[in-house]
């Protein structure tokens, strides 16, 4: 079914993920009267209408800094993304391997036991063998 402006009682809208925990980010801004096709625009019931004054206010319709909470547009900064612990371990393991390579292997020396233990702990977290850790172990100092 082709959507028309009759499907949108307001002209201006903000879209967001209606299934996300709120507050959540705004995912798009729509001027339904200025679009050549409305077929890919979310349904009006799944968006928040905004006034012309709000639409024309660049501080209101900023691409960042606004979100939706309980059906109202609010100032919002999304929390920083924290990768899963297994992903953090994978990244830390790559760094640890580089350190060991540069500071032991290339010098013809055996890695110290703390560095071996540290890498094994990271491997266990990264591959899911360690299911109890909630943080990464600290890197050895020697």
Domain ranges of the chain: 5-75, 85-127
- Contacts made by residues 136-139, CB under 8 angstroms, sequence distance 24+: 136/85, 136/88, 136/89, 136/92, 139/92, 139/96, 139/99
**How far is 59 from 5, CA to CA, in rounded Å?**
26
User: DSSP H helical segments within the chain, as ranges?
Assistant: 52-56, 85-103, 113-127
pLDDT per residue, tens digit, the chain (142 aa), is 789 899 999 999 999 999 999 999 999 999 999 999 999 999 999 999 999 999 999 999 987 899 999 999 999 998 899 999 999 999 999 999 999 999 999 999 999 999 999 999 999 999 999 999 999 999 998 7
Q: Is 48 exposed, middle or buried (0-12, 13-18, 19+ CB in 10 A)?
A: middle
């Amino acid at each position: 079914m082709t959507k028309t402006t009759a499907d949108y009682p307001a002209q201006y809208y903000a879209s967001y993920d209606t299934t996300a925990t709120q507050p959540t980010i705004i995912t798009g801004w729509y001027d339904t009267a200025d679009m050549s096709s409305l077929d890919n625009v979310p349904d009006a019931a799944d968006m928040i209408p905004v006034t012309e004054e709000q639409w024309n206010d660049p501080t209101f319709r900023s691409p960042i800094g606004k979100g939706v909470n309980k059906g109202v547009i609010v100032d919002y900064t999304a929390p920083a993304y924290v990768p899963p612990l297994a992903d953090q371990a994978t990244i830390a393991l790559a760094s640890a391997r580089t350190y060991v390579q540069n500071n032991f292997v290339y010098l013809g020396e055996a890695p110290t036991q703390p560095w071996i233990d540290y890498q094994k702990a990271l491997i266990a977290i990264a591959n899911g063998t360690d299911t109890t850790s909630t943080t990464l172990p600290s890197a050895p100092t020697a």
